[in-house]
């Protein structure tokens, strides 16, 4: 089972706001443009590619440079509350014999900060793929790396995420089953959850 991180394992409007401001201001600084110009650029990139991280290359910014600067602006622990119930969920899934992966478009350093705020160590996952390891979603490189590292076929994986077009649709096209965590239904997921903690009780909806 593979989990996206932001928007999937937690919800925090305050952190999302801080993150988006941080992304805008980092982009403005690195490109020497105004905050308004950075906002317009971000909207265009997100609409066209689905991922800000994916657009960095064409903007002439390395991911390492961008995330190193962004991390200095963020403090996930201020806005993301610990979720000890997630550890219970992961433990239950392991007892079912499932391998666990994490797949995020963030850098490893930022992902580990978010997990720390949630009260989770990265070692809870058998594998964690970040934009340091593979091209970001919706490209398929990260998905393929996870399959290889977990030694699983696509049909053996349930991909859990909060964005249909960017995360779940690519997974489904590869043959994975999908679980959408969202307040509104998007696309055609195999399971629809309003909170990731509903996962255990809804696994029975999958056709095994």
- pLDDT per position as a tens digit, 118-162: 999 999 999 999 999 999 999 999 999 999 999 999 999 999 999
Which has more confidence, 114 or 51? 114
Q: Percentage of the chain with pLDDT > 70?
A: 99
List of residues 6+ apart from 111 with CB closer than 8 A:
5, 102, 104, 122, 128, 130
Query: Can you give the pLDDT at residue 174?
Result: 98
Same domain, 98 and 57: no
Where is 191: in which H helix or E strand? strand 191-193
Which pLDDT band, with edges at 50, 70 and 90, does 206 fall under? Answer: confident
Domain with 30, as residue range(s), is 13-77
pTM of the entire predicted model: 0.93
27 within 8 A of 38, measured Cβ to Cβ: yes
Closest CA to 203 of 193, 152, 169: 193
If asked whether residues 107 and 182 sit together in one domain, one would say: yes
Per-residue pLDDT band at 207 (split at 50, 70, 90): low
How far is it, in rounded angstroms, from Cα 18 to Cα 120? 21
**For 47-185, where are the E strands, in sequence order?**
101-103, 127-129, 158-161, 177-181
Which of 48, 77, 106 marks a domain boundary? 77
Burial classification of residue 177, based on how many CB atoms lie within 10 Å of its CB (0-12 exposed, 13-18 middle, 19 or more buried): buried
Q: Are residues 89 and 64 in the same domain?
A: no
How many domains in the chain?
A: 2
pLDDT tens digits along 137-147 = 999 999 999 99
Contacts of 156 (CB under 8 A, 6+ apart): none
Residues 52 and 135 grouped into a single domain: no
**Residue where one domain finishes, among candidates 41, 56, 77:** 77
- Do 184 and 146 reside in the same domain of the chain? yes
| Tokens of residue 131, six digits | 């934009």
CA 164 to CA 101: how far, in whole Å? 18
């Amino acid at each position: 089972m593979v989990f996206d991180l932001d928007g999937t394992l937690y919800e925090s409007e305050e952190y999302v706001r801080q993150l988006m401001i941080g992304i805008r201001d980092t982009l403005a600084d690195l490109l020497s443009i105004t905050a308004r110009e950075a906002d317009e650029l971000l909207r265009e990139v997100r609409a066209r590619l689905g991922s800000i991280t994916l657009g960095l290359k064409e903007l002439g910014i390395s991911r390492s440079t961008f995330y190193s600067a962004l991390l200095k602006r963020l403090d996930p622990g201020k806005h993301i509350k610990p979720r000890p119930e997630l550890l219970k969920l992961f433990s239950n899934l392991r007892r079912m014999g499932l391998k666990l992966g994490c797949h995020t478009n963030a850098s490893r350093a930022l992902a580990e900060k978010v997990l720390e705020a949630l009260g989770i160590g990265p070692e809870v996952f058998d594998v964690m793929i970040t934009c340091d390891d593979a091209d970001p979603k919706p490209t398929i490189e990260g998905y393929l790396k996870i399959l290889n590292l977990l030694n699983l076929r696509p049909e053996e994986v349930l991909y859990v995420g909060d964005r249909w077009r960017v995360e779940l649709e690519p997974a489904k096209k590869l043959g994975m089953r999908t679980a959408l965590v969202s307040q509104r239904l998007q696309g055609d997921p195999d399971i629809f959850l309003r909170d990731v903690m509903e996962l255990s009780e809804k696994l029975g909806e999958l056709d095994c």
